[in-house]
Copies of this chain bind each other. A is one copy, B any other.
C-alpha cells in the first residue's frame, strides 16, 4: 500500500518571511543566492523538507542554517502554499511559505551559511527601486502576502509583542504598529486601548528613561492572544511603501 511514484510527485520546500523592525522600518530577511537558478538575486531563507520532518521544524531548521537565527523565540506560523506549475525552472517545486516575527535583537546574521543574509526594508523590496534587491522565484508575491498577513494580524491579535524585546514600553509597542501599518497613532488613545485589553500587556512596575521625556513604564507580553474589539487600522497617512 504505497503511493505510485508519479502520483502528485513534487519537491516540497519551506520558505520563511522573517520580519522585524529596524530603525522604525519593517524589514524582511533575504539571502543572496550563490547558485542557479536566480544566482545573484535575493531569496527568502528556505529549503527542502527532509523525509521525516514536519513543516514547522523544517522552517526553524532552515532559519537557523541559512541565517543563524535561533528560531526558538520567534513567532512562526504557516502563511500559504505556492504551487504554480512553473514557479521554479528546475521542476515541480512547491513551497509552503511561513511567516516569522522577531524583535530587533543583536541579530546573528553572521553564521556560516548566513554570510549572505541581509535585512531589507519591505518598502524597498515591494516597490522596485534602483537600490532595492531583485527577488528570486515568486518571492515578491510571498513577501507581499506575508507583510499583509502581519498587518492584518496586528489588528485582531496581540502579535505586535513578538516584534519587541522584553521588557518594552508602550511607546515601543506603538512604534511597532506605526512601522508595520505605516501610520501615526495617537499615543494616549493607543495607551488606553492596550491597557483596557485584559492580558495584552503586564506591568512590571518598573520604568526606564530613554533620552528626553518622562520615564516610561515597562511591560511584558500578557496571556491574551486575541483583541476584542480589534485595534482599528487608520487609513495609511504615511506612504505605505515606507513599510
How many of chain A's residues touch chain B, expressed as a range? 35 or more
Residue of B nearest to A233 (CB): B228
Task: Name the segment of A17-25, A83-91, A128-136, A197-205 touching the other chain.
Answer: A83-91
Residue of B nearest to A91 (CB): B3
Chain A interface secondary structure, helix, strand, loop or mixed?
loop
Task: Name the segment of A47-55, A158-166, A172-180, A184-192 touching the other chain.
Answer: A47-55
Q: Within the assembled complex, what's the spacing in Å between the Cα atoms of A37 and B230?
A: 44
- Nearest CB of chain B from residue A199's CB, rounded to whole Å: 18
Which residues of chain B come closer than 8 Å to A13, judged between CB atoms? 8
Contact B54 A84 (CB under 8 A): yes
- Nearest CB of chain B from residue A161's CB, rounded to whole Å: 21
Contact A85 B54 (CB under 8 A): yes
Contact B37 A1 (CB under 8 A): yes
Q: Is A7 an interface residue (CB 8 A)?
A: yes
Contact B83 A54 (CB under 8 A): yes
28 A-B residue pairs with Cβ-Cβ distance under 8 Å, sorted by A, are: A1-B36, A1-B37, A1-B90, A2-B91, A3-B90, A3-B91, A7-B11, A8-B12, A8-B13, A8-B48, A8-B50, A8-B93, A9-B9, A9-B10, A9-B12, A10-B12, A12-B94, A49-B83, A54-B83, A54-B85, A55-B81, A55-B83, A78-B80, A78-B81, A83-B96, A94-B94, A229-B232, A230-B230
Which residues of chain B come closer than 8 Å to A52, judged between CB atoms? 85
Q: Is A92 an interface residue (CB 8 A)?
A: yes
CB within 8 Å of B: which of A36-60?
A: 36-37, 48-55
